[in-house]
Structure 1
Amino acid sequence: MGVAAYDLEVTSPVPPAKLFKAFVLDNDDLIQKVIPQAISNVEILEGDGGPGTVRKVTFGEGSQFKYVKHRIEEIDKENLIYRYSVIEGDALMNVLEKISNEIKFEASADGGSICKNNSTYFTIGDFELKQEQIKAGKEKSLEIFKAVEAYLLENPDTYN
């Protein structure tokens, strides 16, 4: 098994607690509202929404992938940290065992936030994941981030 890591850091004028609420606590509903074509359905297969919960995310038409299953590892509301793993689905492309993600929201000096995302890709066998492949996935994530950020800026009273 091989391991590849990728870090992404994004700044936002939106305060960290608001981003955490939107992206972590209300992710399923908000993403479907803001970008309905991105995700068609989210269902909890096991658990109560906390650590250990397994969710199936079905992507919308036009997506290159059909679905993924996420296992929530940790939701730290005090420190605004969310950890989850992609454990199944065609996004693993039959070459990845799993993808572990940690997303942390921190305050920036200007009252906004810094979103730090660390992803670790665990490959099957000797497969080597190319940085271009990882980067393409991160660019898609960044598009979703910016769409949600725009929604939060247009609706400043949400998630207070």
Structure 2
Amino acid sequence: MGVFIFTDVYTSTIPPKRLSKALIVDSQNLIPKLMPQAINNIDIIQGSQLRSMKNRVDELNEETFTYNYTMIDLTEKFESIGYEVKFEPTPDGKSKNKMTSTCYTKGNFKLEEEDIGPEKRTLGMYEVVEAYLLQNPHSCA
């Protein structure tokens, strides 16, 4: 088994409380509305198999704006992928958002950073949500 760690940082003009509420807490309502071409729906289901992926929420802390989850039941190349997401305030009222992905591979499979597609799509999701929140200042307030 191999362990590979990747970190992405995204800065936003949106404060962490509002951005974490949109991307994490209210995601099941907001994300399918904003990205219907990519995400049909998000169902919060405990212990059930989802059609495309299965995630296990490990921690959701609305006070510290942290969210940890693990993608499980993956392909023959991966045991699991753990994600740590943290939204931090900046002195100017904006936010710095950090996502660390820890990939646990099976056997001798070697993972390269360019092989990690979901993280890049996640950062794209941040941009879509940020644009929506800028246009809708009362949403997720």
Taking structure 2 as the reference length, what is the TM-score of the superposition? 0.93
| Map of 2:55 onto structure 1 | 70
Contact 1:102/1:118 (CA < 8 Å) preserved in 2? yes
Counterpart of 1:151 (choices 128, 132, 141) is: 132
Contact 1:43/1:55 (CA < 8 Å) preserved in 2? no
Q: Shift of residue 93 of structure 1?
A: 3.6
Q: Which whole-Å deviations, capped at 9, do the CAs of 1:7-61 have from their partners, x for residues lacking one?
A: 0000000000001111110111111011111111222332xxxxxx6673x5xxx
Q: Shift of residue 158 of structure 1?
A: 0.8
Q: Which whole-Å deviations, capped at 9, do the CAs of 1:100-128 have from their partners, x for residues lacking one?
A: 00100000122110001000000011111
| Map of 1:87 onto structure 2 | 72
| 1:4-153 to 2 correspondences below 5 Å | 4-46=4-46, 56=50, 67-88=52-73, 92-134=74-116, 136-153=117-134
Identity %: 39
Q: Secondary structure at the match of 1:99?
A: strand
Contact 2:77/2:105 (CA < 8 Å) preserved in 1? yes
Distance in 2 (alpha carbons) for counterparts of 1:41 and 1:17? 23
Matched residues, number: 141
Seen in structure 2, the aligned counterparts of structure 1 residues 109 and 35 have a Cα distance that, compared at 3 Å, is same
Distance in 2 (alpha carbons) for counterparts of 1:105 and 1:54? 28
Q: Secondary structure at the match of 1:125?
A: coil
Amino acid at match of 2:119: K
Amino acid at match of 1:152: L
Seen in structure 2, the aligned counterparts of structure 1 residues 115 and 95 have a Cα distance that, compared at 3 Å, is same
User: Runs ≥4 in structure 1, deviation > 4 angstroms?
Assistant: none
Taking structure 1 as the reference length, what is the TM-score of the superposition? 0.82
Distance in 2 (alpha carbons) for counterparts of 1:2 and 1:128? 7
| Map of 1:63 onto structure 2 | none
Q: Which whole-Å deviations, capped at 9, do the CAs of 1:121-147 have from their partners, x for residues lacking one?
A: 00011111112102x332211111100
Q: CA RMSD in A?
A: 1.5
Q: Which whole-Å deviations, capped at 9, do the CAs of 1:42-88 have from their partners, x for residues lacking one?
A: 22332xxxxxx6673x5xxxxxxxx1110000001111100000012
